[in-house]
Every structure is written in C-alpha cells, then in structure tokens.
A and B are shown apart, each in its own frame.
Chain A
Amino acid sequence: MNFFVKKVATTTAILLSSAVISHAAQTDITIGMQLEPPNLDPTGGAAGAIDQVVYANIFEGLTRYQADGSIAPALAKSWDISDDGLSYTFHLHEGVKFHDGSSMDAEDVKFSLDRARAEDSTNAQKALFAGITSVDIIDATTVKITLSSPNGGFITNMAWGDAVIVAPESIENAATNPVGTGPFVFSNWVQGDRIEITRNDNYWGNSIALESATFKFISDPTAAFAAMMAGDLDAFPGYPAPETLPQFAADPRFTVIGGNTEGETILSTNNKDEHFSKLKVRKALAHAINRQEIIDGAMFGYGKPIGTHFAPHHPDYVDLTGNSNYDPELSKKLLTEAGYPNGFETTLKLPPPSYARRGGEIIAAQLRAVGIKAEISNLEWADWLKQVFKGKDYGLTIVSHTEPMDIGIYARPTYYFQYDNPDFQQLMKDLTAESDPSLRSEMLKKAQRIISEDYVNGYLFQLARTSVINSKIKGMWENSPTQATDLTGVSWTD
C-alpha cells in the first residue's frame, strides 16, 4: 500500500514538473548487472555483486576509490598519521546522518571496525582489519586507530567495500534493508529481478544528478545483448558479451567504453602437482600458450597480455611477456627434457565466467598441440571453491584475481597454487613494512620478476572492463579499480 501511495505521488510530481519544465533531462537510470547480489551487506559476504550495487551509492567508508583508482576522503575529511606509522587519527565530517535519521559519528566507526575484526566476524576481508589493535573514540568526530605494525596500504584498505561504516541500530537487517550514509537510499528489491534505489535528500555531501536508479539482473549474455539493444537498459557496465560489441559501437545510440580492471586473468597451476612441481614443465606450459589467440578468441580482442601477476596500467609494471612467448617447439623440447616426451594428462577445471570457459577451450587446444592432454571440467562456483580453491584437487584452472595489488598472494604457501618460495615471502614482508615510494617500486618490480622466472602460473591477460552505455549518459566509470557502480557522478545530457 505504501508503495502504491508513493507511486501515485511520484507520478503526480513528474506530471506536474514536466508541465512546468518543458524539456527536462532524464533523472532515472536502469543498469544491467550480470550477477544478482545474494544480499546487500558488503561487510558480511564476498560477492562482488553486493559492492556493485551499494558501494558509494548506499554505503560509504572512511575513504573511497575514485574513478581513476586514486583514494579520496569520504566520511573522514582528513587524517593524521603518527611518525611511527602506528596511529591513524581520522577527522570525520559533521552532521552526517544515516538513512534512518540517526547520526553518524565516531561511535559508528568504532562499531563498524570492531565488528569487522571480531572473532566471529563474517567479513570476507578480515585481513584488512587484522593489523588493528584498537579503535578509540576521541570525540564525536574524531577516531584514533592503532595498528600493531606500520602498514603503507592502510588508507587504501579503508576504501574497500568491506570497510564501509554501518550503524548498530540498523545492522540487523542490513542484508535485506541496507541503511548507510550514501547519496542513495535503498528502496525496493524484487528478488531475481531488480533492485531500486532513490535519491537521499538529506545527503551530507554534494548533491547528485540522478533521482533514482534500478539495477536489473541479467546473467545470460544473449539476454543482456537483447535487453541492451531493445532499449530495456540504459547501461551495462561490465557487459558480458564481447562478441557483440562491434554492433553497439556501430550504433550511434550507444557508446562502448573500454577500460581496465584489477583482474589478472591467469592459468593457475598447482605447483604441488606431480607434473607441475617441475620448473621445466611449467616453463613448457608457458611457451605452449598463445596469449593473443586467447584474447582474440575468448575476449574478442579486449584485454592486455601480461607476463606476470601485475596490472599493466600500473606505473610499476614490468613487461615480462618475453619470458613466456609463444614457442610450441621449445615447449615440446622442454617437456622431453623433463621426462615427458609424449606429454601427459592433467585436469583443467573451469569456473563459470566466459573468459574461463572460452579461454579454457582455447588453451586446451594449444596444450594438446604440444602433447599435454588437459581434461576440461566446467564447474559452478560452489564446486570450484570446494575442489580447486580449498581442496587443491586440480592441475590447471583459469580465474581472474580482481583485488587490486594482490601480488602478495604469492607469499602464501597454502594458497591454492601452493607456491612456496621463502625469498619471495621475505620480500613481501619487507614491502609491507616499507613506506618509501621508490624503494617500494623497486621491490614490486623484483617481485614481478621472481614469479615470472619461476613460472608459478600462466599469466594470460588483464581483464578488460567493457561497458555499453546509452550515448546520452555521462559520468560512468571507465575502469574498475574496485567493484562498484558509482552513480554519484552520473547524469543524462540532453
């Protein structure tokens, strides 16, 4: 009933306002999304789809990512870092209110951070908060956070979607009724179909152009294509059917934007597998792969080749693709030297995304050509997590690691590719402690070289982010430095 009343009210308002303003620009937008979030609490689960809906729109953190990947202040207007790097004092904005009217202050910050780092926390990125020893309230708008050891990435960590500020009064139902401080208020969720958000008229920050937004869930790439073409959607950031992009590019109604993500797409190799524990075999693997064929065949040309686990758009990137250039003859020679003149059999377990499924078929064919018979298993995420990620029961797999600056995963010997190099682990420890930018840069470059020369994984390409957008819309992010569909800067030109 309430909904009905609201509908009548808004319809009347629109009719009246359109009578007055003869030609107003559109203020609502319909965004297509591939995956539906399972719930709307970004601090309680890992699904990137949650952040896609709520990040910067409904929830905000102390700091936030911007479109170009840099970190900007958000709920904290400024901060001071102590000389020893152990204390961060954040100064919060005043007069900020949650969507339910309660005010946002240092208590909520303490609540949010303590909740995230608690023993029984279900926060998927607990590691972000692990170094925090205490969160102290200095006054209503000042919070002091103490770390156990210096962490050069702490300010960035606080910009992650898992670190947004929530309120104890509304956290109970955050999964289905998220209450944040952002410029949009959660309005309606039709499970399986769409989520609607509307403008927060009591927003503390700059006013936004849009009045409302709807996220529609379309997992099927054909359906996404059809919906976009038919005009059912205004934009589809992270559009899932690259083969159809030329059609959109040729149509003046649409604009295709190609951007970067932080996703290194790799052919993960089980370093403890009987075959792949040998360096020669891994090197043979690397030379059997033709990256461009994968990028063309699976991603229709979108994606930059990488030679190590690092984003090519990053200033510290080292181009090591030469270490793993396409050379099937060399590959066969190496296999023979390693004791496999007739190749061997292994498994290639693939999760659902099309870069994995299609890329997998192409790679399997390339491997067959040098004698490695990879048996393909197409798995759903739940099975993939169980078999590959936790069970480490696989030979090869393909997955895109979308967290920014995650080369540190190579320092974890129990991580699913099971690479155990003490030198590298030491390097990562040194890196965390180091805050001098030029020294950090040297270390990062060295790290890239080590994992490239050790051929830990097959480094394929950096996942591109392609978005198809109605040509009249501006302000949508080109790149994806973090999972988000930031609508705060989006508007319709007329």
Chain B
Amino acid sequence: MTNFPRTLIFGGILFSIFLLGALVSFIWTPADVEILQITARFKLPSTAHWFGTDHFGRDIFSMIMVGARTSIAVAVVAVGIGIALGVPLGLWAAANHGHWLDDLIMRGNDLVFAFPSLIIAILITAVFGPSAFNAIIAIGIFNIPVFARISRGGALSIWTLDYILSARVAGKRAFRISAEHILPNIANLLIVQGTIQFSLGILAEAALSYVGLGVQPPTPSWGRMLADSQTMISIAPHLAFFPGFAIILTVLGLNLMGDGLRDILDPRIRRTQR
C-alpha cells in the first residue's frame, strides 16, 4: 500500500478524537449534562472542570462530548440519506443517458440546487417543528442532488468503457451493470465526496442549532452552545471558544481526511501508476 498522506493521518487523528468523545459519552462523561447548578456557573477551566462551566453551571467538557454525538449523528444520517437516495438516482440517470429521464433527473437536480439551502432548512424546521430528526431531513435533502450528480458523472465515464459496452451488447440489464460494475468503481468518488458532505453536514447542523432549529434542550449541541454564549462573550469567552473550536477542528479533520483519501483513491493518480 502506498504511504498514507500526512493529510489523511492528521485529519484522521483530529476527527477520531471527537468520534471517540462522542462514543465514550454514551457510557461516561465527567459530569451529568442534564443537571444544572446555577451557583457553579461561569467557572474557568480547572482540574475540576477541564473546560470550565457554562451559564447554568454545566461542565463544558461533558457538553462538548455529548454535542459531538449530536453533530456526528445528524451529519452521518444526513449524508446517508444523500447517498441512499442520490446514488441510485444518479446511476439511473447515467444508465438512461440521452433519454428524457436523464434530462428530467438533472433538471430536478438543478432545481434543488437553485434553492437557497439554509432558508429551506429553516422553512422545513418551521413547518415540522425544530428537532434533530427534522434537521437531518432538511440537510439530507440537499445532499441528494450532490450525490446524484457525482455518481452520474462518475458512472457516465465508466459507461463509455469497452467492457461495459460489451456487457450491454451481450444483453446484461442496465440495473445489473450499474450494481455490479459501475457502483464499485465509483465507490472511491463517493467516499471522498461523502467525507466532504459529512463536514458540510456538521457545519449545517451547527448553523441550524445556532438559530435554534436543531436538537432541542436539554440535549447539548455545539451550535446552540455558541448561540447561548453570545451575550456572555465578554464576561465568559470560554463559553464560545470551546464549542467553536470543536466545530472547527472536527470539520478541519474531516476535510483533511477527504483530501488524503482523494490523494489515495483518485483515479487519475491510479491511472498514471498503472
């Protein structure tokens, strides 16, 4: 195997820290995030509270851990929706290239792209009420055209290859060709794009929580922690720094991983090595 690029390693470590935090939070956090202790509020980082306490006296370190859970879960499922619905759509379009079906799907794609995503997300959570579930739906919807477009693009270039054409001529159905030949070959593209969409999902969840439309209290969420901390930023800046850095570092980690993965998996590089 080729040397893992530095970006992948570094990014992977960064992201793993938060993933670990999220997973560990299911069994243990330094303090219970659902217990409020007004008398212990605004404490600066110390041995008792590694990241200090917030305006309700809650331990910020614990809240970051549980918030990691929220962000990662929402982003993963949203990307999952995008892949589960977008990839078949894109493959279907590619298989029917030149046909009006392909055109229709691409038109639909462009239509969704034309909508301002944050506004629609806000609209959706207003229609159906703010919650983690609706945030997932709102973000997931905008992932579908991305994966549709990527998989269609990747699929199209594979459809032109000789062995695919001969399979077609031999009578293999487009569906089987897509499943057996196309899909595995675009998997790398999907992995790379998936990582990128994952990081975008984290940012989107933070934005929705920031305006109050994501997961509701008492479940902690990084975006909502930022919103809560705003008015107190000049008396207790650590309330804003920690969730902000958590978002930045997680997204950074994912983006670096995406870069690293692309370096390993990019077909162009593989082609030149063959």
Chain A interface residues toward B at CB < 8 A:
220-222, 225, 241, 243-244, 246-247, 293, 296-297, 360-362, 364-366, 368, 376-378, 380, 383
For B129, list chain A residues within 8 Å (CB). Answer: 377, 383
For A293, A361, A362, the residue with the greatest tally of chain B CB atoms inside 10 Å of its CB is A361
Q: A360-B217, A364-B218 are in contact. List 4 more A-B contacts (CB 8 A).
A: A247-B235, A361-B218, A376-B217, A378-B212
B217 touches A243 (CB 8 A): no
Q: Which residues B16-71 have CB closer than 8 A to chain A?
A: 34-36, 38, 41, 55-56
7 tightest Cβ-Cβ pairs between the two chains A and B: A222-B230, A297-B38, A365-B36, A241-B231, A221-B231, A222-B231, A361-B217
Tell me whether B36 and A361 are in contact (CB under 8 A).
yes
Interface residue ranges of B186-244 to A (CB < 8 Å): 212, 216-218, 230-235
Known: A297-B55, A297-B56, A380-B126. A362 touches B235 (CB 8 A): no
- Can you list 28 residue pairs at the A/B interface with Cβ under 8 Å? A221-B231, A222-B230, A225-B231, A225-B234, A243-B55, A243-B231, A244-B231, A246-B235, A247-B234, A247-B235, A296-B38, A297-B36, A297-B55, A297-B56, A361-B217, A361-B218, A362-B36, A362-B56, A364-B218, A365-B35, A365-B36, A365-B56, A365-B218, A376-B216, A376-B218, A378-B130, A378-B217, A380-B126
Q: Which chain A residues border B56 with CB–CB below 8 Å? A: 297, 361-362, 365
Nearest-Cβ distance from residue A267 to partner chain B, whole angstroms: 16
Docked complex Cα distance between A220 and B41 (Å):
23
The digit string for B74-93, where 1 denotes a CB below 8 A from any CB of A, is 00000000000000000000
Residues of B96-118 at the interface with A, using a CB-CB cut-off of 8 Å, are none
| Distance A210 CA – B123 CA, assembled complex (angstroms) | 43
Instruction: State the CA gap A454–B56 with chains docked (Å).
Output: 31
From known contacts A293-B38, A297-B36, A380-B126, infer whether A364 and B235 are also in contact, taking CB-CB under 8 Å: no
Give min CB distance, B62 to chain A, whole Å. 14
A155 CA / B216 CA spacing, docked (Å)? 46
Contacts from B to A (Cβ < 8 Å): 34-36, 38, 41, 55-56, 126, 129-130, 212, 216-218, 230-235
- A387's nearest neighbour on chain B, judged by CB, is B129
Query: Nearest Cβ distance between residue A89 and chain B, in whole angstroms?
Result: 52
Q: How many Å lie between the Cα of A364 and that of B231 in the bound state?
A: 22
Q: Which residues of B contact A222 (CB under 8 A)?
A: 230-231, 233
C-alpha spacing A221/B36, complex, angstroms: 23
How far apart are the CA atoms of A377 and B216 in the complex, in Å? 7
Alpha-carbon distance A225/B231, docked complex (angstroms):
7
Residue of B nearest to A244 (CB): B231
A299 to B1, CA, bound (A): 60
B230→A243 contact, CB < 8 A: no
Known: A243-B235, A376-B216, A378-B217. A362 touches B130 (CB 8 A): no
Write the chain A residue with the least CB distance to B230: A222
Q: How far is the CA of A190 from the CA of B29 in the complex (A)?
A: 50
Q: Which of B34, B35, B36, B230 has the most CB of A within 10 A?
A: B36
Closest to A374 in B: B218
Q: How far is the CA of A448 from the CA of B218 in the complex (A)?
A: 34
Tell me the nearest residue of chain A to B227, going by C-beta: A222
A364 surroundings in chain B (CB, below 8 A): 217-218
- Kindly list chain A residues whose C-beta atoms are within 8 Å of the C-beta of B232: 243-244
B contact residues around A376 at 8 Å (CB): 216-218
Kindly name the residue among A220, A243, A246 whose own CB sees the greatest number of chain B CB atoms within 10 A: A243
Cβ of B129 to closest chain A Cβ, rounded Å: 7
- Which B residues are in CB contact (< 8 Å) with A241? 231
**Chain B residue contacts of A383, Cβ below 8 A:** 129
Query: How far apart sit A376 and B220, CA to CA, in the bound complex (Å)?
Result: 13
Instruction: Give the most central of B35, B55, B231, B232: most A CB within 10 Å.
Output: B231
Q: Kindly report which residue of chain B lies nearest to residue A293, judged by CB atoms.
A: B38
Residue of B nearest to A224 (CB): B231
**A residues less than 8 Å from B130 (CB atoms):** 377-378
